[in-house]
Structure 1
Amino acid sequence: MAARPNMTREEEFLIQEHPFITNAFLIICEMLDMNTPPSGESTALVDEILHSIFFLGKVQSPRFTPEEIINDKDMFDYLKATFPQPFELYSSQLPKRSPFSYVLDMVVRLIGQENEFRIIQRLQELINQLEGGRKKPLVSSTICVSKTPNSDRYYGVSMSTTGCHPGRIMVAASCLSIYWDSYVAGAVMTYYPTKEKKSYFDGTLQLPQQVRCEAFNLSDGRVKAPCISCGNLFGLTNSAGAEWDYGNCAEAESLSNLFKNVREVREQARPRSVTCTVQNRERAEQSVREVLQGVLRCERFRWDDHFYTVP
């Protein structure tokens, strides 16, 4: 590892043993193993997760460089030669989503979209190897499955970030980068960044009754009832318990993937408020962008106004 200037041997050891470093390195190794033999889509997932992890290393506390995250010179040199863009752009461009989302996509591609139990089991096997106690860095706590009686299953995971600023950054990025379906992004932007609904814009949705949208705790596999936030955003019934930060839950990504692939359901769930106009949405987007820019300034991150894209 390239030591920071004036770093003591004890400080260097603490960095090497930090759960963020440990988990990041293992996740990268797992992604490389799952990308065998390499293919276009899976290789792109490796490329993007590197950028997402490096970015979070730059804005979280304590901060970590790519050299500190990949504490193996041969592996570092290989990754930098094979995936040069994440190393070049992690300090200027924003990722479109948080790291564990890429892990989910890779597992779904390997195991098959309909093998719900095995997908959850495989993610749990990986999580059990990671460190950090109840809130493990870079790890999602929840997975959601969405489908209609006649559709495939579509998955999503909760934001794999720790701390207020990284979470706010990633939710805003998922909205503004068009990674999330525009209806899902509009629903989240109705509340972002607080838990208070905007007076001038209501992009919330009402999910059709025939849609299954079910979340599970990734630590033990138990069903998780929708929280108050998901009830407000998507009309999910039996919502109870906490009102988590809007956009943090796995339901957002899962429903976004469903809407992208099942247009009929997307149209049935569309926002219906009279305040959901093009002009009001643009105002909401600008509000989200301004909050995002403010958070990035707090983290001393100079954003070039682009979201990371694999060439």
Structure 2
Amino acid sequence: MAERNPTREEEFLVQQHAYRVNAFQFIHKMLTWCQTNETKLLMDEMLHSIFFLAKICSVPFAPEEIIPDNSMLQALLEKYPKPVRHLSQFPKRTPFSSVLDMVLLKEEPENEARVRRSLQDIVTSLEATFPVSSTVCISQNTRDPSSRRHYGVSMSTTGCNPRGLMIAASCCGPWDDYVAGAVMTFLSNKRKKRTTPEFDGAFKLPEYVRCEAFDISTGERKAPCRSCGNMFGLPTEEIKEWPYGNCAEAESVSNLLKHESEVKTDVIIPSPTGTDERRKRVQHDVCDKLKDVVRNVPLQFNWRGDFYTA
């Protein structure tokens, strides 16, 4: 008898199982690191992101399915009650971004090798799937060799729906406006019906900026994909385009531009249509479209444009 191909729902159930296993491992490991107010805030943020993304999966599931031990779940929710009470708010980031910040608090951010090794230890102990990021990126102003490193990880989501929603939501709030504008340029260009004016917010980072990505599991350097080349002017010979905004470069460059005004001043936006006014109008359009979309996801809530704050 010919081997039966799994149905789409069966494939989602396999992904769901991996998500539950990984999410539980995340929560268990991060709880052991929660010794300060900062780490407790990151734990709160990570829990909300995990529970929110679980709810908008094609096959949604509840916190009870991630933490089946009822006494353990209740103890966790007594300590962190907000995440499940505010699932109508968007997380600002995917879970692994909170894990990254946990690592940066635990290690010295200037010691890239230790940071990357800690991330590697976490990733290799889990299944390589949602909500695990595959890539870490470091951006730095090389004019000052001792300057701060700005880290970012790829979107730790699986499936077009959660990933697309998180990318659009990041453009509406958490990301630096230049990065959001670059991503939205390509989001809006893919629409058949445009309600906003022509806009091109793609930009070129100054040559003195280092923006380098690595595979978390193997430690190997990863060249920028064509999407990052198009958005940020990063030199690359890669042809493959990942979904715009998915890569670790987006979060890393956003953190760089948010904290280093000198670098942002030197950014070049070649197109005359990449103005602040047009960027704001496109952002407004993206946020309106996002509000429409979330009404049809499994969670079915009326998002008002607000983001969760731990």
1:269 and 1:75 map into 2 onto residues whose CA distance is 49
Conserved 8 A contact 1:226-1:237:
yes
Structure 1 residues 201 and 109, CA gap change in structure 2 (3 angstroms): same
Query: Deviation above 4 Å: which 4+ runs of structure 1?
Result: 14-17, 193-199
2:4 corresponds in structure 1 to none
1:124 corresponds in structure 2 to 120
Show CA shifts across 1:193-250 (max 9, x none).
6658987111111111111100011121111100110011100002413111110000
1:77 corresponds in structure 2 to 74
2:111 corresponds in structure 1 to 115
Structure 2 counterpart of 1:180, from 175, 182, 189: 175
2:118 and 2:133 map into 1 onto residues whose CA distance is 14
Higher mean C-alpha displacement, 101-110 vs 265-274? 265-274
Structure 2 unmatched runs, 5+: 1-9
| Paired residue secondary structure (2:187) | coil
* TM-score, normalised via structure 2 length: 0.88
- Name the aligned partner's letter for residue 148 of structure 1: N
Show CA shifts across 1:171-204 (max 9, x none).
1111112x11111111111112665898711111
2:45 corresponds in structure 1 to 48
| Paired residue secondary structure (1:146) | strand
- Name the aligned partner's letter for residue 223 of structure 1: R
1:193 and 1:23 map into 2 onto residues whose CA distance is 33
1:158 and 1:246 map into 2 onto residues whose CA distance is 11
2:202 and 2:160 map into 1 onto residues whose CA distance is 23
1:181 and 1:16 map into 2 onto residues whose CA distance is 32
1:244 and 1:77 map into 2 onto residues whose CA distance is 39
2:55 corresponds in structure 1 to 58
- Name the aligned partner's letter for residue 309 of structure 1: T
2:240 corresponds in structure 1 to 242
1:136 corresponds in structure 2 to 129
Conserved 8 A contact 1:138-1:160:
yes
Structure 1 residues 46 and 114, CA gap change in structure 2 (3 angstroms): same
1:218 corresponds in structure 2 to 216
- Does 2:155 match 1:156? no
Structure 1 counterpart of 2:273, from 272, 275, 287: 275
Structure 2 counterpart of 1:203, from 201, 204, 209: 201
Conserved 8 A contact 1:259-1:265:
yes
Conserved 8 A contact 1:195-1:245:
no
Report sequence identity in percent: 49
* TM-score, normalised via structure 1 length: 0.88
1:100 corresponds in structure 2 to 96
Conserved 8 A contact 2:201-2:275:
no
2:15 and 2:248 map into 1 onto residues whose CA distance is 30
Aligned-pair CA distance for 1:261: 1.7
Structure 1 unmatched runs, 5+: 1-10
1:122 and 1:94 map into 2 onto residues whose CA distance is 28
Aligned-pair CA distance for 1:276: 2.2
Conserved 8 A contact 2:228-2:249:
yes
| Paired residue secondary structure (2:186) | coil
2:276 and 2:57 map into 1 onto residues whose CA distance is 35
Structure 1 residues 295 and 61, CA gap change in structure 2 (3 angstroms): same
- Name the aligned partner's letter for residue 124 of structure 1: Q
Conserved 8 A contact 2:206-2:268:
no
Q: What is the count of residue pairs matched by the alignment?
A: 291
| Paired residue secondary structure (1:190) | helix
